[in-house]
Amino acid sequence: MANQAEVTKLVSRLKIPILAKHRRLRNPEGPQGRVKKIRAIVTALFKYERIEVYHYDGDEARGYAERLISDAIRHGDTHKETMEMADYWIEEKNLVHKLFKVLVPRFQNTSSSYTRMLNAPIPHATPEDSHPHFRSVIELRGNPFPPLIQSAVDNRLLIQNVLLEEAKKEYRAAKYAEIAQDLESRANEKSDASSETREDTAEDESQPK
């Protein structure tokens, strides 16, 4: 066991969730058709950087794209196996060049996944197509297109939030004042009581004399 290489170190660990078992992606051409479809999607993703595809096909192909980029970063363009893989999965050969010369520098220092997958709107069911397929948008990070999701806006400055914030502050101030008063009155009571008892004892002492 000690001499055996650890399998997890042989392949790159991808930063996206991968299913335990591959999807078969039913296809009239059989397994060969599945591979063909994935090659087309991977090629399109590298070419256009943002594509909309059927969810299951896209999710399957995404792993292949991630693995290609990851290997390219790990081994560089002089590694024979990596080059063969890229050559196989990327149909247009100028995109192999893009993978090593454009995408590798882009993703070299990223800590997140290289691609992003978002759910596309589900089309309305029509009489012709009563079971619309789920679609997804896959994109390479750092693409030049406008963002799909608006960056979170700091909305503390919107008028209603300004008003609510001030109301909150005022409420808190009132509460703190209340608590402080409460504590004070309690402390007073206590000191009154203790002084009374002290007086009592003083009287007791004086009486026997």
Binding track, positions 137-156, relative to other proteins; x by CB under 8 A: ----------------xx--
Comparing CA positions, the residue from 79, 20, 72 lying closest to residue 46 is: 72
CB of 180 to other proteins, least distance (A): 20
Distance of closest approach, residue 177 Cβ to other proteins, in angstroms: 15
Structure tokens at 105: 């520098």
- Residue choice 102, 122, 167, 187 for contact with other proteins (CB under 8 A): 167
160 contributes a contact to other proteins by CB under 8 A: yes
Contacts of 136 (CB under 8 A, 6+ apart): 52, 53, 54, 55, 58, 59, 117, 118, 119, 120
Closer of 84 and 165 to other proteins (Cβ):
165
Q: In the bound complex, what is the minimum distance in angstroms from residue 163's beta carbon to other proteins? A: 5
User: Helix, strand, or coil here: 119?
Assistant: strand
Residue placing its CB nearer to other proteins in the complex, 127 or 147 = 147
DSSP type of residue 122: P
Cβ(100)–Cβ(76) below 8 Å: yes
Determine if 170 is a binding residue for other proteins (CB under 8 A).
Answer: yes
Q: Does 157 bind other proteins (CB under 8 A)?
A: yes
Q: What is the largest CA-CA distance in the chain?
A: 117
What residue type is 52 in one-letter code? E
Kindly state whether residue 158 participates in binding other proteins, applying the rule CB under 8 A: yes
Distance from C-alpha of 76 to C-alpha of 133, rounded to nearest angstrom: 38
28 vs 147, which CB is nearer to other proteins?
147
Q: Which secondary-structure segment (H or E) carries 117?
A: strand 115-119
Tell me the CB-side half-sphere exposure of residue 176, using CA atoms within 13 A: 6
162 binds other proteins (CB under 8 A): yes
Q: Of the ranges 15-23, 72-80, 106-114, 159-167, which one interacts with other proteins (CB under 8 A)?
A: 159-167
- Please provide residue 136's backbone torsions phi and psi, each rounded to the nearest 5 degrees: -135, 155
Within 8 A by CB and 6+ apart from 100, the residues are 72, 76, 77, 86
Q: How many residues bind other proteins (CB under 8 A)?
A: 12
Instruction: Please identify, using beta-carbon distances, which residue of 166 and 196 lies nearer to other proteins.
Output: 166
Q: Is 196 in the site for other proteins (CB under 8 A)?
A: no
Which of 118, 164, 179, 202 binds other proteins (CB under 8 A)? It is: 164
Residues near other proteins (CB under 8 A): 153-154, 157-160, 162-164, 166-167, 170
